[in-house]
Amino acid sequence: MIFSGRFAILNDSICRYSTASNFTSSNLDLRMAKKGKSKKAGMVRRQQQKQHKKALQRHKTIARRPGRSGSSQQLKQLLHTLPRLAFAPELDDLRMDTQRLEALQQENLPEPIQVMRLLTPEFLDKLDQYLAQMEEGSGPQSSKHMLAKATRHQLENSEQIPHLSNPLLIALYLRTQAALQGSTLEMDEIYPAMRDFESRNSEFIEQMTADPDLLKNAMLTPEGEEASTAQSEGFFQSLSGQPETDVRRIREDVELFLEDFDAPTPTEWTSATISEFVAWFMAEANPVQDDLQSIQSSLSIYLGFLASTGVLDTENTTALQGELERKIKDAEAQFAIAS
């Protein structure tokens, strides 16, 4: 309240108050005493009001500053729009290798493993070039510029920030998957498609979160006995999305080849290696016809896995799979003669 003569400003309204009084000598002294006290109390109140007003002003100023909550919300919005970047003109024609994807699907590998196999150095270099063009061609404050820059940073620091955590790379994988199926994934379909991807692979993603080395083991190509162990473990982990009975059967077949037969390192495998193994298998394992079909299927899948990780080249893999098929047919023919 602010006073001026017989008027007061109260709550932004001008009010009039009465000055009429009928004081006696006794109550005059009382009024004068109260007046002295109220003056001191009024000063205190005015100081408190002044401090409160300054505090309110500081609070309003701080509220207007861009705080963490605002930055966090902006970051969430940017990440939410990241999959749409796959439909930007600069990336519209970019696809992963559809032929390689088809081969990976035939091996029944989990989709996260397929994504990692498709992120070849050639593809990542091409993506980085497109993102660099996008970054340079857009304003520094634009969402396209910031998303392109953030993605390039992630690609350069993939050891600390896994590729599978980047929604743009998943979106590019899903567009490639649609192209392989002869269809087109449109921008308004990308979010439902990504939710389906996450739902389909939730179990594998949980395992990957609990064991960060899962993908690393699948991608390793070291040499010697330690290499074979790492490669086989990576292969077995990649089977986690398949039925348990199939996983058990494939594991037994591959371990039979690697451990019981004591196969050499993959880089030393030749058609003669396959021929010797099938002869050993017939003599030592006393198989039935179903066992032959199982061993062929399991080893073919394992050979394909080694090819997809770069341990075996495509030409050698094709030759090994062809020799395996021929030797198994020869063994089945022996069963037919015996029966």
What DSSP assignment string belongs to 259-289? IIS----GGG--HHHHHHHHHHHHHHS---H
- pLDDT greater than 50 at residue 223: no
Most confident of 39-48, 100-109, 220-229: 100-109
Q: Which residue has the higher pLDDT, 207 or 9?
A: 207
- pLDDT greater than 50 at residue 4: no
- pLDDT greater than 50 at residue 121: yes
297-311 burial code (b ≥16 CB/10 A, e <16):
bbbbbbbbbbbbbeb
Q: Report how far residue 311's alpha carbon sits from residue 309's, in angstroms, rounded to the nearest whole number.
A: 6
198-218 burial code (b ≥16 CB/10 A, e <16):
eeebeebbebbeeeeebbebb
Residue-wise pLDDT tens digits, 64-74: 444 444 455 66
Cβ-proximal residues to 324 (8 Å cutoff; 6+ apart), any chain: 274, 278, 296, 299, 300, 303
Residue with tokens 């992963």: 96
Residue-wise pLDDT tens digits, 128-143: 999 999 988 888 888 8
Parallel, antiparallel, or unpaired: how do β-strands 2-4 and 13-16 relate?
unpaired
- pLDDT greater than 60 at residue 17: no
19 within 8 A of 6, measured Cβ to Cβ: yes
Sign of CA dihedral 172, 174, 178, 181: positive
Q: How confident is the model at residue 33, as a pLDDT?
A: 45
- pLDDT greater than 80 at residue 219: no
DSSP 8-state assignment for residue 22: -
- pLDDT greater than 80 at residue 312: yes
Residues 158-181 have a mean pLDDT of 85
- The DSSP secondary structure of 196-207, one letter per residue, reads HHHHHTHHHHHH
Q: How confident is the model at residue 3, as a pLDDT?
A: 38
Q: How confident is the model at residue 113, as a pLDDT?
A: 84
Q: How confident is the model at residue 142, as a pLDDT?
A: 85
DSSP 8-state assignment for residue 83: G
Q: How confident is the model at residue 63, as a pLDDT?
A: 42
Q: How confident is the model at residue 246 (pLDDT cuts 50, 70, 90)?
A: very high
Q: Is 310 left (phi over 0), alpha (psi -120 to 50) or beta?
A: left
Q: How confident is the model at residue 84 (pLDDT cuts 50, 70, 90)?
A: confident
Q: Which residue, 63, 43, 62, is CA-closest to 51? A: 43
Tokens of 90: 């600069």
- Mean of pLDDT over the chain: 76
Residues 91-111 have a mean pLDDT of 85
Q: How confident is the model at residue 301 (pLDDT cuts 50, 70, 90)?
A: very high
Residues 193-198 have a mean pLDDT of 92
Q: How confident is the model at residue 300 (pLDDT cuts 50, 70, 90)?
A: very high
- Any idea where the domains of the chain sit in the sequence? 31-64, 79-210, 220-338
Residue with tokens 């705080």: 67
Q: How confident is the model at residue 250 (pLDDT cuts 50, 70, 90)?
A: very high
301 within 8 A of 236, measured Cβ to Cβ: no
